Each structure stands twice: as structure tokens, then as C-alpha cells.
Structure 1
Amino acid sequence: MNSTHEVFNQPTPLVDYNLFDTHRPLRDALKFNAPALQTTQLHELGATLGSAAMQTHARLANTHTPQLHTHDRFGRRIDEVEFHPSYHALMQTAVGAGLHGTPWTGLSASPHVLRAAGFMLFTELEPSILCPISMTYAVTPALRGNAGVHADWGPKLASLWYDPALKPLHDKPGVTMGMGMTEKQGGSDVRANTTQAVREGSDAWGERYAVTGHKWFFSAPMCDAFLILAQAPAGLSCFFLPRVRPDGSRNAIHIQRLKDKLGNKANASSEVEFQRASAWLVGEEGRGIPQILEMGTMTRLDCSLGTSGLMRQALGIALNHTAQRHAFGKPLVEQPLMKNVLADLALESEAATALAIRLARAFDQQGAEHERLMARLLTPVAKFWICKRGSHFAQEAMECLGGNGYVEEGGEGVMARIYREMPLNSIWEGAGNIMALDLLRGLRKGDAVAALVHELAPARGQQAALDRLADALPARIEAMASEAEARRLAQDVALAVQAALLVQTAPAAVADAFCASRLGGDWGQAFGTLGAGTDFDSIIQRAQPR
């Protein structure tokens, strides 16, 4: 058959590169927040995650989605979810890199910053399998509220072995955990939960209850155990709910169906019912809300890290495409308007990375009062602002590829997958309004305003726009500390901290452009509206993925 045309001017994919070595903003953020951190592990992980083989696993895990089997072929109830082998390959890599409960062992310097950097890199490859990884990270410290469970499960939650089989704890070298909080009638208002827990007795794991009820969103149902909320006689309480009871029998956790979601395809999100399922009290009866807030702090950190990673990957794909694609006589990356768009995206990505890693540092230094306050304040701020910016970012990065960016092509269209994934981190673990209200609560803890002033102080005197915002921020906090203005306040705090971090960690071209656009008003209402005096070439060169 005669050829109708030659295929040319189509870019080659971004593949077989080191995600860590080429991520200059992340490396600079690590030097600033954890100067003694050894990064050999991140270098090795970055090479693995950028490989063609791992990209294939990411594609297959998303195109061959989880399948629910409620019964076996003989009619026995089994409630199992089947995953593609690529899902398990990704999980093994994440667990082997210690992205789950490992930081709580305290065996490395700056363990939370190290884990945060790895989590961010992994998100560039595939974010949805990280749901059980993130939940395992978050629930591990909460288990200390039940000494018996923590003694048995704690070491295996930090194990670098991944075992997907559904079997008793003593037969597994490593385990993962999930959470079950929300119900149909309540959503974020967990006080409206109706699931009931009735005390049955006590054993080596403490006070044992029978739980009856449901959960409307129950992510990663094939985890080995879960922390759930249920109503006990003293009020809403936290319970440990294993998939397999200590005697080896399967617990009465019945998976009703899997959610058909916009994105996050490799991760199974389910609806479940409990029919007198066995669960053990964690902490005190009636203290479920404070324990949720503690766990939510950790998963919200991961939302910020995850969106930062997705931004970086979307930017890398856009830069890779525009460097190779020619239009009107030269590469797209050399066209003035495209330069503006790419540089603007690079600023947003670097600012997100800087803020997310700064937040992780606060969890490594909880012995210092300032760091405790910053963890309390920056968690809702980072989760709100970084995740809110994600969807806009992905749309603009997709546009850099034109129609090619909008094509799925059996999972080969990574940009389309990123676009579908982006809204999720803003929604789960507390949507935008929840985060803004949580910031208001955080501002009532200790001397929060003084902590923010202290945080911004090292960057003072270098950017007039930042100085003006820093001077005005205490009064703005006082004036805007109302529910109606809480989102605007979260935005202002986020931009001030991001600017201060970039002034201290980034080249002048990046800090100058960020402060001029985000703080100084030299910016439009869409990406690609930086001032003409911006050093576009320096910003773009710093962001290049190769």
C-alpha cells in the first residue's frame, strides 16, 4: 500500500529520565529544609520512576481498573477486589521506598522530608495507587491509642515488604491500612454518622465492639485493616477494623460496589456495609473527632505533595513537547507567548514544591513550638491553595500540547490522566471550605500571628511587594478572620509564605517574577500573563525535565 504521508514534527514522549536529578526546585527545597539529608535514595528512586517500564505499569494500572468480586463461583461471600499485576508492581515500589509508615520509625534524618520528596516524585509517575500508602502513613501514629494493636501492627506498617494477600497478620511480612469516615447522610459532617458500635468484651487488643452500619467512601478496601468512626455510648469514637479477625476468619465487611470515578482509576474506592463486624477501640470513647483531625493533618500534607508532583509532571510534559514541536518557523518553546505560559507554570510549580516541602519539615521538628504552630497553620493553607491551583494548572499545561494533550489513547495520554486526577486532592480529606475554616481554627492556637511574622522575617528587605504583604498580614488576619473571608485569607497566607520561601531558595529570576506577579499585581487572571520584563528563558531553563 502506498504511503499517504510522512509523520514528522511529532515529539517523542518524556521517558527514561531521572525525576529527582532534573527537579532543581525540589533539590533546592531539600537543601533549605533538610541540609543534612542524604539524597542517594531519592536519586535511585527518581531513576526508577522515570523509566519506560514504570510508565508502562502506570498506564496498565489505570486502563485495567480494579474489579470487585463479592462472591466466589460457589456462592460464598468473599468481598475481594482484583487488581492488575501492574498495580501490585507500583505498590511494591512505593512500599519498598518507605513512602507509607516507615518515617515513624525515626531511623533516618529528616524522615518526613525524605518521605515527602519520595511521595512527590512517585506522584509524577502515578498518583492513585498512593491512596493506601498515604492512609498507612496517617494512621500509624494514631494506633498508639491502642497499645495492643500498635505492638502487633506497628512494625509491619513500617515494613518494606508488600504482600497483597488477604490473610491473618501473623502470616504477612507487611501490611497497609485505610480509613472509613464518611457516610451517605453526612459527608464531611462526621458528627452525623449513624454507624453503631456495641461493646462485646475485651482481649489482647483491648476493648472489642460489634460494628453495624455503612461507609459511603471507603478507599482501598483491600487494605489489611482500617480506622473507622462509629457511635459508641460515649459518642463518636475511633475503631480499629481488620479485614481478617485474629482467629483467621474474615470480618463482616461487605463491599457493596466500587465507585465509578472521573479519575484516580487505579485505586479502588468503595461503598461498604458492616454487619456486626469486629472492631477494637482506639483511644477513648467519644474522642473520635480529635483523632480524625490528627490523621487528617497527615493526609492533607499528602494532598499538597501530590498536587505539587502532578504539577511538576504536567510542566515537564509541556516543556518536552514544546521543545520539539515546531510552528511558524521555530520551536514552540521559542515563541514569546508560549514562553510566558511555560514560565508562569514553572513559577506556580516551584512555589507549590517549596510550600509542600516546608510543611513536611514542620512534621520533622514537632519538638519546637514554632514548627508545631506552622504545621497547624500551613497544613490547611497548603492543602487549600496548592490543590485549588492544580486544576487550572493542568488545563493550561494540556493546552500547550493542543489536541494531543486531550487524547487518552489507551492510557498513553498522560496529560489527560493528570487533568482527570487534579480535582481530587482538592476534594478529599476536606474540600476548600473545610480547609479555610480549619485555618480560622488554627489561628486561635497559640500566638499564630507571631509565628507567621517570624516565618516571613528572613525574607524581608528583598522584595518590596512581599514586605508590603508581610506588613499588612497581621491586620488582615484580624480583619478577615471570618467565615465569609476565610478563603481569601488562606490565599494571602499561602502566597506570602511561598514568596518568602522562593526569596530564600530560588534564583532571582524566579523570586522576582513570582513576587511581581502574585503579590505586585503585574499579572492577569490566567497563566501566561507575566510582565514583559520577566526573565522567561532563565525560569524555563531551570524547569526543564532533561
Structure 2
Amino acid sequence: MVSAREDLQTHEVWNQPQVPGPRDPWAADAVLREAVAREGGQVVPLETYGAALGSEALAVAAREAERLAPELVLFDRGGRRLDEVRYATGYHDLMSAGIGAGYAALAWEGGAGGHVSHAAMVYMASQLEPGHCCPMTMTYAGVPALAGQGGALEVWREKLLSRVYDPSVAPLGDKAGATLGMAMTEKQGGSDVRANTTRAERDGGDWRLTGHKWFCSAPMSDGFLTLAQAPEGLSCFLVPRWLDGERNPIRIQRLKDKLGNRANASSEIEYQGALGHLVGEAGNGIRTILEMVHHTRLDTAMAPAGLMRAALAEAWHWAEGRRVFQKRLVDQPLMRAVLADLALDWEAATALGLRVARAFDAGGDAGERALARIGVALAKFHNNKRAPVVIYEAMEALGGMGYVTDTPLPMLYREAPLNGIWEGSGNVICLDILRTLARAPEAGEALRLELEAARGNSAVYDAALDAHGARWHGPPEEAEARLFAERLSVLLAASLLLRFAPGEVGATYAATRLGGEAGRISGAIPAGEVGVILSRLSGRA
């Protein structure tokens, strides 16, 4: 490679770190590799996918996908209705790499550690360009909702498990692979899907849906799981995007102009008598689609850990290459304190997400299934509340450059709130935690065992765990749901770090998150040796 010129006409460029090249998110991340090994994930597909994500070709594709917004094309030149979205070539390149690596299929192919491996792929792909992850996540999560349905829906399941990305406009039978979207939200209800007014009427062996959906992500998916009111009550349907010889009457009203997630087209749509296949029993739609939601929540818990990792990698690169007051920035005690504090949040989020993923893998273990149910809600809540803070502080570490789109920090910052809102915002998740503990005592017991496993590793942790149990003998009143969820999720993260991370990492996390030895601002921690923590951030551990 020929280097860029540093000796310009008016000045010489110095004290500017070299532009970082593409980064392999597997090879450069010791924390991820440790966690995947501990939780039983598959190394080879992650090595392969990490190398692809770290290539120059996908780095270029990611920049193109993020900067060239999807285009809504409603009509052809003759005025015929199309209702299509055109994406940048880079978006299709990213989708092809992810589907080919098994992002959507790996968890269902029967190998050990499939969900852990999938979660690690979410974590890695989110670092490069998060928008393309949405349709792959929904495809992954839709597979269990269609399990055991038989008939036409079994064909759908087979296409969703394909490792071939096929974006062609064609009916399912003509495609090598398919992707799945979701259309639940309506204007009047939001998270309260029981208020949905889209109606479903029988049409022979199938149904016709009529109504408006306020949010439909990835509208070029081959089908959508959606909720509509049937005579028996709210029911779940799979609505194909394309039919044999014609277009299913799904009308795109507009694309949402979003804060972030720009490579992914989110839309408003109308079903105008669209054909749909019933999934599950009529009147049992919420229970049916919650199987999909349960799995998408794993991804919304894992993606913020990846976003934090990407932001901190940029901050670390800058701090190593920038000199301030005659010393490298990374050697300045205050900057080291800030980076170490942020790294603790990232380590906790990564450990929490991948531990929950292992619970998803243990299908025959009732205790692990129960832990998956409560753990995914705690991980989603905790990780997404920390991500915007960590990413902002990483941005600030770069100074003015962090606010400029020549770096990925603005993209990461715009992305930071998304996973906390999607699939249940903070209050919804906290209420879900309370309901789970009230209705499923086995979930509380599984969580108790996981917390007790760390007892004896830290006096600070033990005291905090005792205090939590003394204050809340069961689920609290609703007004305290956020306080309860925060403390419980931090205890769970601390339990994992105390058991599995180096001693300095677990002890410092417990002291600063549970023992009151920190302020409420990142980096406001006691002076101490943070070398081990930072070595793990650097990837050299």
C-alpha cells in the first residue's frame, strides 16, 4: 500500500494516529474468544466470519451501506405498482456474507453451541454495520415460531435455514433462500398489541389481511410474521411478500427517516387483502409470536456489547497513537481510568449476553430454559442502558474527531438507542421481568443459583447480594421495577466476571458497581492498577 502524504504545502501531518485498517473482530478480541470457549460456541465458523468482516471488501461494503440510504420505488415507469426498496450493493454484500456464515441458520443446524455462536456473530457484525443485522436476526428468530407447523410453513422454515442469500423478487418456490420480517406495531397500541385493529378473514384454507402497520422493518423480506384480529381473537400469520405470478397486496406507505440503523429500511405498510397463512392456533397469536420475540431479544442483548466493543477499539487506537503533554494519551492516568471503567461495562455486557445464549442452547434442561427466559430480559435491559454512555465516552476520548463521520463513532452513537427500544423498551422489559418472576418461580430459582455460584469470591458482592435479598423477598411494586432490574442485572454480570474474568476485572467491577467506590460518571473511580483491564481491551491479553 502507498502511504498518504504527510508533508503538505503548509504543514506536516503529525500527532495524528494512522487511519486504522479493517479489524478482524474475532482475532482482535480475547474477551470474545474466552467467552465463546467457556460457553461452548463453535470456533471455526466464527474465525471464518471474523476474517470476512475484517476484510477490506466488507469494510467498503459497510461504508456504502450506511451512507447510501435505501430507496423506495413505488411504481415502474409505466405507473404499475412495485412497492419495492432498492439497497446499495454493499448492503447485499453484507447480507450474503452473514447468511452464508450461518448467522440465521447456525443455531438450528444441530451443532453444539449454536446459539452462542449465533450471538457471537451478532456481536461481530454489529461492529461493522448494524443495519443489515435486522433482517438476519428476524430470520433466525422466526425459525422456532414455524417449528412443527407442517404444510406450506415447513417449506418456509427450510428456506429460512438456507445459507444462500437470494434477494430476487420471486415467489418462495423459485428462491434459493428466504428472509423473514415482522409487522406487529400499530399506531394506536405500540407495545400493547392487543389493541391491534388489522383484521383477518378466511379465504378458503388461508386468510386475507386488511389493515395498517406503523413499523415494518426490512420490507423486502420474503415474508412477515404479523398479528391480526381473526374471529377467534388476535392471531399470528405469515404473510408472503410475493405470490406465484403476482404481488401480494402489501403497500409500502413510506420509509421511516430514522436516527440510525440507516442501511436497514423500516417502513409503514398496509395490507389490502393480503394473503396470509395462519401460524399456530387462531386466537393464540401473542403466544405464537412471542417465540420469535424471545429470540430477537437475545440479539438485542448482544448487539450493544458489539457496539461498545467497536467504539472502544476506536478510542484505544486513538489513545495509543496520540501524544498529549509529552506522553501518549494511553499512558495518561486519567485517560486510563476512563478507558478501564468503560472496558468493565463492555466486558460485563459481553459475558452477560453469551451466558444467556448458552441457556438458549440447553433446550432439554428446565433450569437453563428458565434462566434463558429471565436472563435475556435482564441482559437486554442492562446492556442497552450502558451502551449509549460507553459509546459517548469513547467518542469524547477522540475529541473533535469523534464527532466527525470520518470515524465510525457518530454511526455507533446513532445506533446506540435502537436495541433498547426494539422488542420492548426499558419499561416494557422491566414489567416483563416482574411478570416472569411472579408467574414462573423456576426462573427465580435458576437466577438465584446463578447468583449464589459467585458467593465467596468477593465480600463486596456477597454483601450486595444479601442486601438485595433483604430488600426484595419477591418482585417489587411496579414503581421500583427499574431499580430492581438494574440491581439484579448488575449482580448477574458481577457474578460472571467474578467467576470467569481475571481477578482484577471481577474485583474492580464489584467494587465500583456494587460497593459504591465510584461516581455516576464514567472514569470517576478510585485510583488503582488498571493494567489487566486495559490489556484485555487492547486485545493483547
Tell me what 1:205 maps to: none
State the Cα deviation string for residues 221-246 of structure 1 (Å, max 9, x = none). 0000010000000111100100112x
Indicate yes or no: 2:201 matched with 1:198.
Answer: yes
Match of 1:304 among 301, 306, 317: 301
State the Cα deviation string for residues 432-482 of structure 1 (Å, max 9, x = none). 000000000110203333222211232111101111122233343436522
Tell me what 1:25 maps to: 31
Match of 2:349 among 331, 338, 352: 352
Matched ranges for 1:60-459 at <5 A: 60-106=64-110, 108-144=111-147, 146-202=149-205, 208-245=206-243, 247-408=244-405, 412-444=406-438, 445-459=440-454
Cα distance in 1 for partners of 2:288, 2:357 equals 20
Query: Identity percentage over the alignment?
Result: 50
State the Cα deviation string for residues 281-325 of structure 1 (Å, max 9, x = none). 111111111123221111111011100100111111100111001
Q: How many residues in Structure 1 have an aligned counterpart in Structure 2? A: 533
Task: After TM superposition, give the deviation of residue 67 of structure 1 in Å.
Answer: 0.1
Is the deviation greater in 306-315 or in 116-125?
116-125
Cα distance in 1 for partners of 2:413, 2:225 equals 30
Cα distance in 1 for partners of 2:474, 2:160 equals 45
Cα distance in 1 for partners of 2:335, 2:136 equals 37
Is the deviation greater in 453-462 or in 266-275?
453-462
Task: After TM superposition, give the deviation of residue 366 of structure 1 in Å.
Answer: 2.3
Is the deviation greater in 288-297 or in 230-239?
288-297
The answer on whether the counterparts of 1:102 and 1:159 sit within 8 Å (CA) in structure 2 is no
Cα distance in 2 for partners of 1:139, 1:480 equals 31
Residue aligned with 1:109, SS? coil
Task: After TM superposition, give the deviation of residue 155 of structure 1 in Å.
Answer: 1.5
Is the deviation greater in 362-371 or in 464-473?
464-473
State the Cα deviation string for residues 334-376 of structure 1 (Å, max 9, x = none). 1111000000111100000000000100110021121111111
Cα distance in 1 for partners of 2:142, 2:96 equals 19
Q: Please give the TM-score of this superposition, normalised by the length of structure 1.
A: 0.95
The one-letter code matched in structure 1 to 2:489 is A
Task: After TM superposition, give the deviation of residue 88 of structure 1 in Å.
Answer: 0.2
The one-letter code matched in structure 1 to 2:182 is M
Cα distance in 2 for partners of 1:296, 1:312 equals 25
The answer on whether the counterparts of 2:461 and 2:510 sit within 8 Å (CA) in structure 1 is yes
The one-letter code matched in structure 2 to 1:73 is R
Task: After TM superposition, give the deviation of residue 178 of structure 1 in Å.
Answer: 0.3
Task: After TM superposition, give the deviation of residue 213 of structure 1 in Å.
Answer: 0.4
The answer on whether the counterparts of 2:22 and 2:59 sit within 8 Å (CA) in structure 1 is no
The one-letter code matched in structure 1 to 2:189 is G
Indicate yes or no: 2:486 matched with 1:491.
Answer: yes
Cα distance in 2 for partners of 1:448, 1:80 equals 44
The one-letter code matched in structure 2 to 1:79 is D
Task: After TM superposition, give the deviation of residue 529 of structure 1 in Å.
Answer: 1.2
Cα distance in 1 for partners of 2:105, 2:138 equals 9
Question: In structure 2, do the counterparts of structure 1 residues 150 and 200 end up closer, same or farther at CA, with 3 Å as the change threshold?
Answer: closer
The one-letter code matched in structure 1 to 2:97 is T
RCO greater where, 1 or 2, for CA within 8 Å and sep 6 or more? Answer: 1
Is the deviation greater in 141-150 or in 116-125?
141-150
Residue aligned with 2:473, SS? helix
Task: After TM superposition, give the deviation of residue 42 of structure 1 in Å.
Answer: 1.2
Q: Please give the TM-score of this superposition, normalised by the length of structure 2.
A: 0.96
Residue aligned with 1:229, SS? strand
Q: CA RMSD in A?
A: 1.4
Tell me what 2:55 maps to: 51
Task: After TM superposition, give the deviation of residue 18 of structure 1 in Å.
Answer: 2.4
The answer on whether the counterparts of 1:140 and 1:157 sit within 8 Å (CA) in structure 2 is yes
Tell me what 1:511 maps to: 506
State the Cα deviation string for residues 155-188 of structure 1 (Å, max 9, x = none). 2111110011110112111100000000111111
Residue aligned with 1:241, SS? strand
The one-letter code matched in structure 2 to 1:319 is W
Question: In structure 2, do the counterparts of structure 1 residues 2 and 284 end up closer, same or farther at CA, with 3 Å as the change threshold?
Answer: closer
- Contiguous gaps of at least 5 residues in structure 1: 203-207
State the Cα deviation string for residues 457-511 of structure 1 (Å, max 9, x = none). 3211110111112223334343652211111111111111111111121111111
Task: After TM superposition, give the deviation of residue 93 of structure 1 in Å.
Answer: 0.6
